[in-house]
Structure 1
Amino acid sequence: MLTVGDKFPSFTLTAVKGGPDGLGGPGKSFTEISDQSDVGKWKIVFFWPKDFTFVCPTEIAAFGKLAGEFADRDAVVWGVSTDSEFVHLNWRVHNDDIRDLPIPMLADIKRELAEALGILDKTAGVALRATFIVDPEGTIQWVAVNGLNVGRNPQEVLRVLDALQTDELCPCNWEKGKETLQPQKLFEKVA
């Protein structure tokens, strides 16, 4: 599995657009997204196993609710599964929780991106619940992976992004607005 310090793989995937444009129907709802999209921005790339399941829409909706918070931090959010763009679109149309989703849903139907990242479940052949924070240079700065049955906490992803963007030493449970660690001050106290 790729991890912190690795380059995020190159890819080009078809996606259902976020927001109302995503509900325009086939031919109007789709766009291409690649590793070169949104150049200069931080990227939050999260994977879910399958559309039309139970845990997945809770996570997707939670990421969608935080899309503005991520945008305020110069970050884009991309959701990905191994289902097709047509399945994504159908799911959005028929699921109240994600109908108004403001983020794109990428279709990794050939499993190339999930495979390149090393996040395919060995038994089910679908993506694990993996989340990557990728810096503007395309380097992975944070990874978290959950099994198929356990949802993740998008608020924690936002907290980690805040910490990464400080470029400072952040203690356990650090939150935006709190002080970071200053090694010089720690050494002064000892002396």
Structure 2
Amino acid sequence: MLTIGDKFPAFNLKAVSNTDLPDGDFERLTDQSFSGKWKLVFFWPKDFTFICPTEILAFDALADEFADRDCVVLGASTDTDFVHFAWRNSREDLGAVKFPWLADNKKELSSALGILEKDEAVALRASFLVDPDGIIRMVQANDLSVGRNPEEVLRVLDALQTDELCPCNWHSGEETIDVAKEVA
């Protein structure tokens, strides 16, 4: 699995951003689509499952907060663009999700990231915070049976954006660690 300090891989994937059937093809997003912005790219194993929508909706509930921090949210799985489209259309709450869903059906991005589950060859529940220079600054991967905490991802983004030393359980607005004060 790629880790902290690695360059996030280049990608060019179809994305489903709403429940409108496109005139022609779905839009394509690349690693350059949001140049100069932070990116949260999070993967779920499969569409039409049980834990995945809880995570998607929880990240969507925080989408405006990520945007306030100049961070674009991108969801992804190894399902196709048409499966994403069908799932979004099957549920009103998923249809209203604000961020695009990447279709990594060739498994190129998930393979490059090293997050394919060994037995089923679906993406792990993996999250990556990528800085404006395309460098991975946070990686989290969970077992397929355990959902993640989007508020923790937002907390880590806040901490990374301080460029300071942040103690355990630090939250935005709290004091960071002043090394000069600590060694004095």
Taking structure 2 as the reference length, the TM-score comes to 0.98
Alignment of 1:83-94 (within 5 A): 83-94=79-90
Instruction: Write the letter of the residue equivalent to 1:126.
Output: V
Deviation, 1:109, is 0.4
Instruction: Write the letter of the residue equivalent to 1:183.
Output: V
Alignment of 1:1-191 (within 5 A): 1-17=1-17, 22-27=18-23, 30-188=26-184
Taking structure 1 as the reference length, the TM-score comes to 0.94
**Which whole-Å CA distance do the structure 2 matches of 1:8 and 1:28 have between them?**
29
1:16–1:29 CA contact under 8 A, matched in 2: no
List alignment gaps of at least 5 residues for structure 1: none
Deviation, 1:29, is 7.8
Q: Which string of whole-angstrom CA distances, capped at 9 and with x for unpartnered residues, describes residues 135-168 of structure 1? A: 0000000000001110000000000000000000
1:82–1:107 CA contact under 8 A, matched in 2: yes
Q: Which string of whole-angstrom CA distances, capped at 9 and with x for unpartnered residues, describes residues 96-135 of structure 1? A: 3312000000000000000000000000110000000000
1:58–1:97 CA contact under 8 A, matched in 2: no
**Which whole-Å CA distance do the structure 1 matches of 2:55 and 2:92 have between them?**
14
1:23 alignment partner, SS class: coil
Count, aligned residues: 184
Instruction: Write the letter of the residue equivalent to 1:150.
Output: V
Structural RMSD (CA): 1.0
2:94 alignment partner, SS class: coil
Moved over 6 A (4+): none
Deviation, 1:28, is 6.8
Instruction: Write the letter of the residue equivalent to 2:140.
Output: A
Percent of residue pairs bearing the same amino acid type: 61
Bigger mean CA deviation after superposition, 90-99 or 52-61:
90-99
**Which whole-Å CA distance do the structure 2 matches of 1:130 and 1:27 have between them?**
32
1:57–1:97 CA contact under 8 A, matched in 2: no
1:98 alignment partner, SS class: helix
**Which whole-Å CA distance do the structure 1 matches of 2:12 and 2:151 have between them?**
27
1:46–1:80 CA contact under 8 A, matched in 2: yes
